[in-house]
Amino acid sequence: MMATAKKTNTHVDAVIVGSGAAGALVAAKLALKGKKVVILESGRSVLPPDMISSDIHARSLHWGGADAELQLTSPAIRTNFSTGAQTGGTAAHHYAAWFRLHEEDFHMKSSFGQGNDWPISYADLRPYYDRIQEEVGIAGDEKAEVWRPAGTPYTMPGLPMFPAAQMLKRGFDKMGLRTAPLPVAINTQDKKGRPACLYDGWCDAGCPTGALANPQTVYLREAFAHGAALLNNARVTRVLTTPNGKRATGVEYVDAKGVQHVQNADLVVLAALTQTPRIMFNSVTSAHPQGLSNRNGMVGKYILVHPTLNVYGLFAEETDAYQGTSIGLMVSQDDYEKDPKKGYLASYQWLLAPAAKPNGLNGFAGSRPDIYGAALDPWMKRAAKHFTHIQMVGEMIARPENRIELSGDKDEFGLPLSKLTMAFTDNERALYTHASTVGKSIVSAASATEVWASPLVNQHFMGGTIMGKDPTTSVADSYGITHEVPNVMIAGNTLFPTSAGVNPTFTTHAITLRAVEHVLAHWPA
């Protein structure tokens, strides 16, 4: 489908590309201050009634299908599961494990000479973690979570200990490893007009009750309550700039009918995760010959994921693993410290007892792909009652060669698609080997009768338009303001210069709140 006639929309204060965690938060805070805001979301509308409890339905919240726009040059690292294009973006199906980065995560390069440094420290970010926690609500136990960086106490009691968590905790106890309730942006009690979780384990399908803090539940609602508008199926193709390239004037997008629009705005916010680098590359002008704000060639570089490992067990006792939350119930960060003497340089954590359904990427059927035929049904019946697992979320060292570039293929509007070149190295493989050995020992110590591990897999998506102090080695400053165009703000995970070893969404919110308040204080940019 080729774009047809161009229409110019009414000017707004801010146009936000992407309605996920970062875009929704920016929209809410700008709208709250009276700014006229429009959000352009490339994906379809997804409302809570669309969040159907089924693994098969849930897959439609994850990026994929015939129009996947991020091509892979190697099949080893896949990103579809950790991305999504719809109202709420990836966060519409996120599992709400909300961790703070540790102080050591901000100084990877200065401490160890590898990866990058963040341009901020934990002290800079702590107030924003605290405020987001207060606004959204997080359940946890800060006393039991002995590794937790300084912060105000959690706003709700921690998750309950269903049988699977109790059994796995035995293993950690025997190994001398501490555990704590997993901090989650999931209500464990009715709070702020949102109900307590039902613990039915369907978080991956989206949470229609409002117990889990997805954008639909929290910041998009706030944005709409203050007048922000959202357009679905609005695919942004490029950022428009003044002839000298020093300011953005808005964006160009194509709607579902193929009509091309120009949306002028004082502020352009790029919060489109994997699409942010692509949009910047496609915004070539004579003033930005390598793409928007890409004179230093840094756009697209330092893509990051979290290396991941699952260690599974079957127990004599019933685990009731069908219930709980998709992320799990407990956490252990006893081996989080980065120390090259370990044989790898990375932080990692264990998540205990994620809810397990029969099918799908995280289903227990998939944990033993070698079982089939007459042996399958007895095994499935046994696993349904006695299966549980732990998951390692690990750190990947940031490397510029892990990158997004434009592909030679083009989309239906004639614009190049993007492609991802990415690989693990011996460092991530050494982390996997270590964690696999430790994890099997833990699950065995928990008295599992059978223990096995997954291959090295991955989750989450970060980097690609990293923040930094040095304009020659980063794309944006610590507020996401691009180095060359001061009224273009990048928001979200693509700003992460390193992955750390924890799930990213709480940090996404914290850096975004800090950034949007900076932008408001300096308006117009």
Partner 1 sequence: MDRRHLLQAGGVSFALTAAAPLSLFNPREARALDLPFKALSSDEVKIIEALCDALVPGAREAGVAHYIDHELASPAPRLLLRFAQLRGPMAPYYHNAIAAFAASLTAQGNGAFASLSPDAQHGVIEALRTGTIKPWDTGAVAAPLFYGMMRNDGVDVVYGSAEGFKNLDIPYMPHIMPQATW
Residues 7-36 that bind partner 1 (CB under 8 A): none
Q: Which is nearer to partner 1, 401 or 409 (CB)?
A: 409
Angle at which helices 505-521 and 21-32 cross, to 10°: 30
Structure token digits, residue 183: 């901090």
Size of the site for partner 1 (CB under 8 A): 76
State which of positions 246-275 bind partner 1 (CB under 8 A).
none
Q: Could you say which of 4, 8, 359, 449 contacts partner 1 (CB under 8 A)?
A: 359
- Region of 210-218, 267-275, 488-496, 512-520 interacting with partner 1 (CB under 8 A): 210-218
State which of positions 320-349 bind partner 1 (CB under 8 A).
322-323
Minimum CB distance to partner 1, residue 273 (Å) = 15
- Residues with Cβ within 8 Å of residue 411, at least 6 apart in sequence: 67, 69, 417
What residue ranges in 353-427 does DSSP mark as E strands? 387-394, 403-410, 416-421
Q: Which is nearer to partner 1, 81 or 95 (CB)?
A: 81
Q: Which is nearer to partner 1, 128 or 387 (CB)?
A: 387
Q: Could you say which of 110, 374, 408, 521 contacts partner 1 (CB under 8 A)?
A: 374
Q: Kindly state whether residue 72 participates in binding partner 1, applying the rule CB under 8 A.
A: yes
d(C-alpha 459, C-alpha 455), whole Å = 13
Q: Kindly state whether residue 370 participates in binding partner 1, applying the rule CB under 8 A.
A: yes
Are 313 and 450 in contact, with CB atoms under 8 Å apart?
A: yes
- Region of 60-68, 121-129, 166-174, 289-297 interacting with partner 1 (CB under 8 A): 60-68
Minimum CB distance to partner 1, residue 279 (Å) = 20
If we measure between CA atoms, which residue out of 424, 425, 459 comes closest to residue 78? 459
Q: Which residues pair with 81 in a beta bridge?
A: none
Q: Kindly state whether residue 226 participates in binding partner 1, applying the rule CB under 8 A.
A: no
Q: Kindly state whether residue 378 participates in binding partner 1, applying the rule CB under 8 A.
A: no
d(C-alpha 323, C-alpha 221), whole Å = 28
State which of positions 401-440 bind partner 1 (CB under 8 A).
409
Q: Kindly state whether residue 458 participates in binding partner 1, applying the rule CB under 8 A.
A: no
Q: Which is nearer to partner 1, 227 or 524 (CB)?
A: 227
Minimum CB distance to partner 1, residue 62 (Å) = 7
Burial class of residue 430 in the structure, from the number of CB atoms within 10 Å of its CB (0-12 exposed, 13-18 middle, 19+ buried): middle
Tokens 């008295």 belong to which residue? 447
- 3 state DSSP class of 73: coil
Q: Which is nearer to partner 1, 75 or 113 (CB)?
A: 75
Q: How many CB atoms lie within 10 A of CB 399?
A: 19
Minimum CB distance to partner 1, residue 376 (Å) = 6
d(C-alpha 22, C-alpha 41), whole Å = 13
Q: Which residues pair with 331 in a beta bridge?
A: 180, 351
